[in-house]
């Protein structure tokens, strides 16, 4: 297959579970993706998601350019286990002048090296462990998005003293220092709700604020 000539938004190098899931997610969202791996079977597996999937045995600049990955706005390097390959591939991709380079790391030390090269670093296993741990600890938390070291958006199941109370009565901004940014009921998400809106047991709320303040709020509303 000829490499893609026009600009493509995303490249994914390394098609393990993380890389394959990333290709699938981007493709299903309507994005064009260049996928690269040395394993022919893994490349074949993602061809149902993208026409631009390539077997590349040696990840050097010349072989990567043959795939057209240099035309991407963002390239994610999903090679965590082979540290030398991860680091060298990250160096090559950054050298190619791609605007946004993301690299998967399996340890803090690995991540520090990738950061020094100029990549944005992700820790999929560690992030998932934190996410699962938080859900195990909190009975009401359904999910969260970390925006900073101490700020996050958290989805919380309504319960305890929230049931039957209105947003105005709770006054969470003054009492807890957080904001309710969305209310979900019957799988419908509402971001334009009245201060007189009263919570029901089946509601889910999304709140934004500092982690310690959201933790305090959750503890306070537990039945």
Contact, 108 vs 127, CB < 8 A? Answer: no
Residue 132 included in any domain: yes
The pTM assigned to this predicted structure is 0.61
Cα–Cα distance for residue pair 37/187, rounded to 1 Å? 38
Cα–Cα distance for residue pair 151/139, rounded to 1 Å? 20
Tokens of 15: 């098609």
If asked whether residues 104 and 143 sit together in one domain, one would say: no
Domain harbouring 61, CATH code: 3.40.50.720
* Of 107, 122, 137, the domain-final residue: 122
* Of 71, 97, 122, the domain-final residue: 122
Quote the number of domains for the chain: 2
Detail the DSSP E strand segments found in 90-187: 100-104, 120-122, 141-146, 151-157, 179-185
**One pLDDT digit (tens) per residue for the chain, 223 residues:** 444 444 458 999 999 888 998 999 899 888 899 999 999 999 999 999 999 999 998 888 899 999 999 999 999 999 977 889 999 999 999 999 999 999 998 888 998 999 999 998 888 766 655 554 555 445 555 565 655 567 788 888 888 889 999 999 999 999 999 989 889 888 888 888 899 999 998 899 889 888 889 889 988 887 6
If asked whether residues 101 and 137 sit together in one domain, one would say: no
* Of 122, 150, 171, the domain-final residue: 122
If asked whether residues 115 and 32 sit together in one domain, one would say: yes
Sign of the four-CA dihedral 38, 80, 18, 78: negative
The CA R_g of the chain, rounded to the nearest whole Å, is: 22
If asked whether residues 13 and 118 sit together in one domain, one would say: yes
If asked whether residues 52 and 103 sit together in one domain, one would say: yes
Contact, 156 vs 218, CB < 8 A? Answer: yes
Residue 1 included in any domain: no
Domain harbouring 134, CATH code: 3.30.70.1450
Range of the domain at 84: 8-122
């Amino acid at each position: 297959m000829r490499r893609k000539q026009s600009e493509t938004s995303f490249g994914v190098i390394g098609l393990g579970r993380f890389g394959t899931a990333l290709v699938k997610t981007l493709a299903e969202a309507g994005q064009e993706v260049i996928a690269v791996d040395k394993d022919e079977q893994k490349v074949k597996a993602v061809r149902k998601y993208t026409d631009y999937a390539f077997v590349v045995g040696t990840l050097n600049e010349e072989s990567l350019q043959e795939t057209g990955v240099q035309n991407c706005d963002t390239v994610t390097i999903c090679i965590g286990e082979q540290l030398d390959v991860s680091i060298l591939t990250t160096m090559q991709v950054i050298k190619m002048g791609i605007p946004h380079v993301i690299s998967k790391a399996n340890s803090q030390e690995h991540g520090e090296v990738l950061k020094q090269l100029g990549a944005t670093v992700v820790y999929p296993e560690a992030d998932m462990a934190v996410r699962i741990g938080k859900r195990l600890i909190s009975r009401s938390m359904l999910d969260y998005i970390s925006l900073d070291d101490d700020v996050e958006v958290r989805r919380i199941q309504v319960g305890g003293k929230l049931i039957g109370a209105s947003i105005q009565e709770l006054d969470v901004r003054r009492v807890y220092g957080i904001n309710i940014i969305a209310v979900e009921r019957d799988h419908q998400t509402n971001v334009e709700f009245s201060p007189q809106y009263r919570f029901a047991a089946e509601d889910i709320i999304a709140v934004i604020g500092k982690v310690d303040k959201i933790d305090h709020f959750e503890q306070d509303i537990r039945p």
